Amino acid sequence: MPTNPQLLTLATVVLAHAASAQRSSDVHGSLRTPAYDTTFITSYYDNFVITALMRTQGNEVELTGRNEKSISYSTNDVVQYGFGLDLRWFTIEAAFSVPYLSTPDATKGITSSNGIGFGLTGRKWWFRNFLSRSEGYHVLEPWAYDSLWQPEMNHPYRRDLEQTTYMASINHGFNGARYSHNAALWQLERQRRSAGSWTAGATLWISEMKADSTLIPFQLQSEFNDTTQFIRMQRFIIGVTGGYTHTFVFLRKAFLNLMLVPGITATQHNYAIPRLGDVSTEWVVGGYAEGRFSMGYNAEQWYVALSGSTYAASSSVGEQVDLGTTFSSVRLATGIRLRKPNIPMLRKVGL
């Protein structure tokens, strides 16, 4: 079996997403009044949580031209396996590709990916950011790239296509007293009764995409303008967002969380185009959407949860031509909650 380039990839590190602000929310052994409604939320802030997980994450790029003709590229993602450790303000999570278990689809080429990210999930403020780099994309609709393509054939593959992206989003939840985003995302708390929250926030994207030649196949050239002939593109996005999230509780400890946060963005592009040289565009209005779901069972001493997230941004790259970029992930995790270790060194650093 060929070596998987993602074998030693550190997929994500999440540090301190249980914010120090949550200390006032601690009700385990504390006489302080909690900063939330205890009939809606139970905190496991003082528990030592060990998590086993598996997940996959990917990136898609879509160019849409005249007459709704489009060409889409995607990474060839594998399932990664890992662990997480949580205690009070400290959280770390890592996932890696495993030989024989993390096997890519041989018909879609090989993607080399790496990235790192961290987040902060407080009572009212939720921050997420990551830096991601992927190289090697396959065509999602092969018949659009090659009219002679048949299902038994390999997908057209662009080893030369590479994208590096930094993305950050911040959201403010307006119902921190009754809605727990920590319970929805990480199960470090438990939503005891159904509740939701409106959100308001902002997003920032900085990305670079490059390839040896244009991404537009010959048979679609007439549907796209000169701008899309780029071999390198830099993209800057800044936007404001607002949406809603809700956790439904049933069977006492089972839950389903849904979140949708759309937004309006200002986007600017810089291109390197073989026939035109370097080209910069004016800022244009674009769209953004962040969507999440999670479902599972969150008991007192253990939990299991399936979750997914998507970040998508779209904007015009010329007359009648749009560029869309999507990052998505799916995570399955199960964890156990233990009593806080009685180690003096940990107490000195607030653990």
Backbone φ, ψ for residue 347 (5° rounding): -65, -30
Spell out where the chain has E strands.
41-43, 48-64, 70-75, 80-87, 90-96, 112-121, 125-139, 157-173, 189-191, 195-210, 232-250, 254-273, 277-280, 284-298, 302-316, 322-338
> Which residues, 6+ apart, have CB-to-CB distance to 215 below 8 Å?
61, 63, 71, 73, 158, 161, 228
- Give the three-state DSSP class for 166: strand
What pTM was computed for the model?
A: 0.87
What six digits make up the tokens of 332? Answer: 């399955």
What six digits make up the tokens of 196? Answer: 């939701």
The Cα-based distances of 97 to 6, 100, 112, 113, 135 in angstroms read: 6, 9, 11, 11, 16
Burial of 205 (0-12, 13-18, 19+ CB in 10 A): buried
**What is residue 81's predicted lDDT score, i.e. its pLDDT?**
95
- Domains, the chain, ordered by start: 20-348 (2.40.128)
Blockwise average pLDDT, block size 10, the chain, 351 residues = 40 38 38 83 94 95 88 93 90 87 90 88 93 94 86 92 96 97 95 98 97 90 86 96 98 97 96 88 94 97 97 89 94 95 85 80
Which of these, 67, 56, 51, 148, lies nearest to 105 by C-alpha position?
Answer: 56
| Residues 171/184, Cβ–Cβ less than 8 Å | no
Distance CA 331, CA 185 (A): 10
How many Cβ atoms are within 10 Å of 294's Cβ, its own excluded? 22
Backbone φ, ψ for residue 215 (5° rounding): -85, -10
Cα R_g (the chain), whole angstroms: 22
| Residues 223/68, Cβ–Cβ less than 8 Å | no
